[in-house]
Amino acid sequence: MNKQLLLLGVLIAPTAAAGESRFTPADAVKQTALHNPTLKAAVADVQQSVELLRAEAVRFRPTLFLDATGTTNAAASLNFPSGTTRGTNQALVFGAEIQQVFSFGTVVDFRLENRNTGSQGPAYSGTNTTVTLGPGYGLSARLTLSQPLLRGAGNHVGQAQLRALRLAQTGQARNRDAVASQALSNTLLAYWELWYAQKALGIEQQARTLALRQRDEAQGKAKAGSLADADVLIHETRLAELDQSVLQAELTLREQSLTLANAIGVPSTTFHVAEAGHPTFEIEREVTVLGAASEASYTLAQQRIAVAIAQDTLRTAAEATRPRLDALAWLQTQGLGNQAVAPALDQLGTFDNVSANVGLVFELPLSTARHQAQQRAGELALEAARDRLTAMENQVRADTLTELATLDQARQSLSLAERTTEVATRTAVAQQQRFQIGTAIPIEVQTAEDSLRRAQLSVERARVNATKAQVRLANLTGRLLLLWGVDQGPDQDRPSLAGGS
């Protein structure tokens, strides 16, 4: 009976020492959300796209221009048969201008200008008598209007960059979610591989403990003369093999711990995972899972945005090579005062001096080759984006079906492995009992124990395989973030853990 209890005890993994902290899946998820550098970069990309969109959104707000210039000019001129005279001009100009650009192409410009001038020169030709004019105070107000009628006309052109940035922001948000889901998937996959490595090490250590006890018992019997030395060597060989298995399991455990640390994004450390239960999911109907994958897949969402960008780009692909027809108009009123500002203000206010201009500017490329090439390039880009979307849809469907099959196979393997373990346990106990009464040889006992150990490893392997398939399936169908409560709101500086399974 003691032998049977010892063999059954192999099924129990080592428990945590008193006060030892164990790393849970929720801990791994939280640390990934806080430290994963790839995820942080994706969040920063979203914030960058938000700022670029904000910058483009204010592009159509009014702009104020202020300018001031001072000019002085002196020049000599022929005025006498044998001499020259010198004249000077000075000008000081202050201007204020407000410009408004509209998304449909209209540009409205309003400018106020103050021009102070003065001059000194000959009163008339042939005399050296000089006369000083001014200072003169000139005031003017001009309203200018420009409207494209062909090239550049309409919101589909003026707001093209704004639309592109909005789509880019949506794409970056979906990319952030995709990166977050993949990072979380990598962490959980690494976590359960570490869980298995820890389980496997426990099984190997328990098997070695049993082999060591059997070797010691065999040595005692050999000394008592009831067992041959050759039978002791069989136990020695068995113990040496299990020493190698334990060493390999310890190495695998360290490697998986490093893999988990890398997935989380923290420096290399050693994790002791908790004896946590595996997440349980019902096997959904194939059509339901495929529909969820098609609707919620981050990869497909990103490619759909790429198609939308290509469609919008095609609308304006050849805009720069279209014929140009712009309507131009300006209206100006001005006033001028000699040595006083008041007359200038009066003339400006009463519109005594009004000027106006209306015109058209037409530009026609003499070759349509560039227009056709740009149009065709846009069409090809759209066609390629749609083909990539189709390819991704096929890939997501294939990956989803594969994971569904893997999950189903893992569940069946788990059921078979559990039944095998039950049989192997009874066989090992029976062989131990036969050995005790002398009807079995040591090699038969060891064969039964090896079968039990392999069955135990197979059970844990099947459990982990099923869990990993569930994680990958949740990632494919866009449910992984929701299942683990990772908040990926667009205004978040970093991902956060709202809750966890």
470 lies in some domain: yes
CA distance linking residue 319 with residue 155, whole number of Å: 13
Report how far apart, in Å, the C-alpha atoms of 114 and of each of 69, 132, 137 are. Answer: 11, 21, 7
Are 92 and 181 within one domain? no
Structure tokens at 17: 């020492």
Q: Do 29 and 142 share a domain, yes or no? A: no
| Same domain, residue pair 420 and 398 | yes
Q: From residue 457, how far is each of 118, 238, 498 by CA, in Å?
A: 102, 18, 35
Q: What SS3 class is residue 57?
A: helix
Q: What pLDDT score was predicted for residue 112?
A: 94
Length of the chain measured in residues: 501
Same domain flag for 140 and 172: no
Beta bridge partners of 66: 96
Positive or negative: CA dihedral 235, 238, 240, 242: negative
First to last CA, the chain: 40
Q: What are phi and psi of 146, to 5 degrees?
A: -130, 130
Q: Could you tell me if residue 497 is inside a domain?
A: no
Phi/psi of residue 71, each to 5°? -135, 135
- Quick one: pLDDT at residue 477? 80
Q: Is residue 370 part of a domain?
A: no
Neighbours of 169 (CB within 10 A): 22
Instruction: Say if residue 167 is in the same domain as residue 201.
Output: yes
Which ranges of the chain have pLDDT less than 70?
1-21, 80-82, 126, 275-288, 296, 318, 440, 486-501
Q: Name the β-bridge partners of 78.
A: 84
Q: State the maximum Cα–Cα separation within the chain, in Å, rounded to a whole number.
A: 149
| Helix or strand holding residue 286 (H, E) | helix 286-296
DSSP symbols for 414-478: HHHHHHHHHHHHHHHHHHHHHHHTTSS-HHHHHHHHHHHHHHHHHHHHHHHHHHHHHHHHHHHTT
- Contact between 369 and 330 under an 8 Å Cβ cutoff? The reply is no
- Say yes or no: 205 and 237 in one domain: yes
Residue 248 and residue 224 share a domain: yes
Q: Edge to edge, what strands does the sheet with 107-122 contain?
A: 63-80, 83-101, 107-122, 130-148, 324-338, 353-363
Same domain? For 146 and 169 the reply is no
Task: Report pLDDT for 276.
Answer: 54
Contacts of 80 (CB under 8 A, 6+ apart): 126, 128
C-alpha distances in angstroms, 442 versus 226, 420, 446? 14, 22, 6
Tell me: do 449 and 349 sit in the same domain: no
Task: Give the pLDDT score at 288.
Answer: 67
Q: Which domain holds residue 343?
A: 63-76+87-101+106-151+328-363
- In this predicted structure, what is the pLDDT of residue 282? 55
The type of residue at 34 is: L
Q: Hunting for tokens 């030892």 — which residue is that?
A: 20
Q: Is residue 499 part of a domain?
A: no
CA distance 204 to 453: 8
Within this chain, do residues 341 and 394 fall inside the same structural domain, yes or no? no
In this structure, is residue 53 part of a structural domain? no
- Statement to judge: residues 124 and 172 lie in one domain: no
| H or E element, residue 348 | helix 342-349
Q: Residue 94: inside a domain, yes or no?
A: yes
Q: What is the 3-state secondary structure (H, E, C) of 168-213?
A: HHHHHHHHHHHHHHHHHHHHHHHHHHHHHHHHHHHHHHHHHHHHHH
The CATH number of residue 233's host domain is 1.20.1600.10
130 DSSP β-pair partners: 122
Residue 136 within a domain: yes
DSSP state of 320: G
277 shares a domain with 131: no
How many domains does the chain fold into?
2
Residues 103, 59 contacting (CB under 8 angstroms) = no
User: Per the domain annotation, does 41 fall within a domain?
Assistant: no
